[in-house]
Structure 1
Amino acid sequence: MGALSKFLLVAFEISNELYVAVGAGVFGIVILLKHGFESHQCLKTLSVITLTTCSLIYINSEKQKIQASKKKVVCITGCDSGLGYSLSQHAVDMGFTVVAGFLSLESKGSKQIRKVYGSNIIQIQIDVTDSSSVQSAVQTLEHFFSRNQGYSLHAVINNAGVMVFGEFEWLTEKLIQQQLDVNLLGTFKFTNALCPLLRQYKGRLLTITSHCSQTTLPGLAVYGATKAALTAWSDGLRIEMSKYGVSVLTFIPGSFTLQSNIMARQLQNVQEMHDSFTPEQHNFYSDYFKRYNVYLSFITPPPTPVKIEDESLYVQFENALLDKYPNVVYKNESLRYRIYHVLFKWSPICVRDYFVTKFMQMPEYVPAQSKDIYDDIEDIDE
């Protein structure tokens, strides 16, 4: 009992000193240092002061924001629909000058933004898979800065991406390559071309990843691999660019498939998968492939681009652009996502895989033998 009392007393003293130090700030730290040396409790005092200093730095850094300004330029790729379409509008509403990249300047998203914002959002054509398109976009930015002295590149947002839903065996080489080209290699290509401008203006690089970068989901193995690769790439790039004053961040925006065109070509993709099947695959997957894609057919993109309605998304986006000392990762997630991803991270593999399956709620695969049994039951019922 004596040992427990002594432990509780020490814990109370440390907590009390932390409370005093944080409350009194720098003055409290000086008092604690003096007390520690006088009472020969240097180790405890230095530990408390270290924790206090780190806490004060964290608290103060969280409160420091920069101001949005017309002279700060934000460049965003993939603005034809979905996230890019929404973030480009929100950034200009915040007060930034926005350069929005569109795969096509005749897309519905481009026309709609032009109708609402006019020249307040500068539109450029960017195909991140095309080197000449990327170079043209960079030259346009360089020309803009040369003609607008005092303007600076505040942030580049790598948002352009595509997603093909389907089991890995079903994907054709073309569908695999497309996701690698746009999500991964295109991001590399565009960022590489903009590194000199990012260094010149000490801007920040914000790359859109996904919850799939943390837990790759069945049906999205290739998409998840590209997003996980972007996270790994950002980790290395962050250290490389920090010495030049460039901040490298990743942004996990959450799920908004129904408000995005990221699956706009899913029906064509399904047809391509089906047409590429061998006779054996047609026979093996026939019923499962059909039920799987009928289920996905209910995820339909809006006929015209819409701005995503998610307040917490924009709060995190504003933090990523305005925090003076930005975090490494900004994440927007619902309570359901948060709970599931904690379970994914800490559960044993067999339990984790069960939770992933429940999370996805995809149609169940029924082995051929079981299907025969079900067919026999149906025949009896008839």
Structure 2
Amino acid sequence: MLSSTGYMRISVLPIISFFRGLPALRRAISTTWTFKDEKIQVKPGKTAVLITGCDSGLGYSFARHCQDYYGLIVIACCLNPTGEGASRLMKDYPKGIHVIKLDLLCHQSLDDMKSEVAELAKTNGYEIHAVVNNSGVMTMGEFEWLTHEQIFEMVSVNLIGAMNVTKNILPYLRETRGRVVNISSHCSLASMPGLSVYGATKSALEAWSTALRIELEKFQVDVVTVIPGSYVTESLILKGVKSSSEKMWDSMSDASKMTHEGNFRRFYDYLEAIPVPKLGYIHDDALFERFDSALLSTRPKRQYVHGPLRYRLYFFLFTISPTVRIKEYLIKRFVNLPGF
């Protein structure tokens, strides 16, 4: 509207009304999100979840958490069913947690797992609500140092293993309209030196999860990924650093040893100095809040990301970096490993 002077006159009333309405808008959004995070109705002693990699770390903690807080029946897959983690789960939860052996590198073990799950479900009337693909292998080192076997193991466990387990459990999930929860990594969001193959497997896991989510939508089966942050010092994932580095060194040619010896020694001296923790429960309320939503929310998000402030800051900077060179500089600062 033009004023008598010929200039356009703008009323500030709509603007004031907009800002006055923001609190109500925030309340509406808050109410919506609260509604979306309602949990499914768990049937104690009947609703079951299958979790892989329960020998230690996240898997061990997730298994205990599901029993302690929700009374979920847990089918805990362990590589070593007579090891400390599996033994403690069976001792502390003789009725609520079933430990079964699972070696993701062995097809026979996958077939045996499928048969055991079928028997447990049939005998006890369990309704399998979810599979949590948590198993993971992380062998750190520059790509040229890694042996063929180490590369094969990471791809086979972190990616193909999750696919094989999910394929075996999908018939139950269609029946219960359950979900697949894939434990991913910050390495899927930004490629890290020293973790190139591990990061590639997690990026592929994210890509597979997206396609699988679309495929299973017609069956009302959700597919969710969880990026939990770093728990290297609270799990046994670095337990085999010394033996892994020895295998790498032994597989190198004399020329490669001459080229990489300095960086190689500094890199693994640094890793071997990291203390390997004892088996224990991970205490992180914020992590379990996200895990609970991924597992039990009636309307789960597609991805849940958790991590300390340092992680959030750096990954924000990665996304706004104006050039690739700046982003790669920030990645090296974030990784903070010898040689980079």
Q: Please state whether the residue corresponding to 1:290 is helix, strand or coil.
A: helix
Q: Deviations over 1:338-364 (max 9, x none)?
A: 001101121121111111111111124
Relative to its length, the structure with more helix (as a share) is: 1
Paired position in structure 1 for 2:247: 272
Q: Deviations over 1:180-230 (max 9, x none)?
A: 111111111111111111111111110000000101211000000000000
Corresponding position: 1:318 with 2:298: no
Paired position in structure 2 for 1:133: 109
Q: Deviations over 1:73-113 (max 9, x none)?
A: 01100101111011100011121111100112111211122
Normalized against structure 1, the TM-score is what?
A: 0.81
Paired position in structure 1 for 2:87: 111
Give the Cα–Cα distance (whole angstroms) in 1 for the partners of residues 78 and 216 of structure 2.
Answer: 27
- Per-residue deviation, 1:274: 0.7
Of structures 1 and 2, the larger Rg is shown by 1
Structure 2 residue runs of 5 or longer lacking an equivalent are none
Paired position in structure 2 for 1:40: none
- Per-residue deviation, 1:60: 5.0
Change (3 A) 1:56 1:252: closer
Q: 2:210 aligns with which of 235, 242, 246?
A: 235
Q: Please state whether the residue corresponding to 1:119 is helix, strand or coil.
A: coil
Q: 1:91 aligns with which of 49, 60, 66?
A: 66
Counting aligned pairs with the same residue, the percent is: 36
Normalized against structure 2, the TM-score is what?
A: 0.91
Paired position in structure 2 for 1:282: 257
Change (3 A) 1:212 1:282: same
Give the Cα–Cα distance (whole angstroms) in 1 for the partners of residues 109 and 335 of structure 2.
Answer: 37
- Per-residue deviation, 1:282: 1.3
Change (3 A) 1:300 1:147: same
Amino acid at match of 2:16: F
Q: 1:306 aligns with which of 280, 301, 304?
A: 280
Matches within 5 A, 1:102-251: 102-149=78-125, 151-251=126-226
Paired position in structure 2 for 1:292: 267
Give the Cα–Cα distance (whole angstroms) in 1 for the partners of residues 25 and 293 of structure 2.
Answer: 28
Change (3 A) 1:272 1:21: closer
Q: Is the CA contact 1:114–1:121 (under 8 Å) kept in the aligned structure 2?
A: yes
Q: Please state whether the residue corresponding to 1:99 is helix, strand or coil.
A: strand
- Per-residue deviation, 1:135: 2.1
Change (3 A) 1:21 1:299: closer
Corresponding position: 1:6 with 2:10: yes
Q: Please state whether the residue corresponding to 2:219 is helix, strand or coil.
A: coil
Q: Deviations over 1:283-306 (max 9, x none)?
A: 11122211111111122322x421
Matched positions, count: 333
Give the Cα–Cα distance (whole angstroms) in 1 for the partners of residues 21 and 195 of structure 2.
Answer: 51
Q: Please state whether the residue corresponding to 1:306 is helix, strand or coil.
A: coil
Give the Cα–Cα distance (whole angstroms) in 2 for the partners of residues 170 and 21 of structure 1.
Answer: 55
Change (3 A) 1:16 1:257: same
Tell which has more relative contact order, 1 or 2 (C-alpha 8 A, sep 6+): 2
Q: Deviations over 1:245-270 (max 9, x none)?
A: 10100011111101111122111110
Structure 1 residue runs of 5 or longer lacking an equivalent are 24-51, 366-382
Give the Cα–Cα distance (whole angstroms) in 2 for the partners of residues 241 and 135 of structure 1.
Answer: 23
Paired position in structure 2 for 1:79: 54
Return 216-225 or 192-201, whichever deviates more.
192-201
Give the Cα–Cα distance (whole angstroms) in 2 for the partners of residues 4 and 159 of structure 1.
Answer: 62
Return 228-237 or 98-107, whichever deviates more.
98-107
Change (3 A) 1:18 1:128: same
Q: Please state whether the residue corresponding to 1:144 is helix, strand or coil.
A: helix
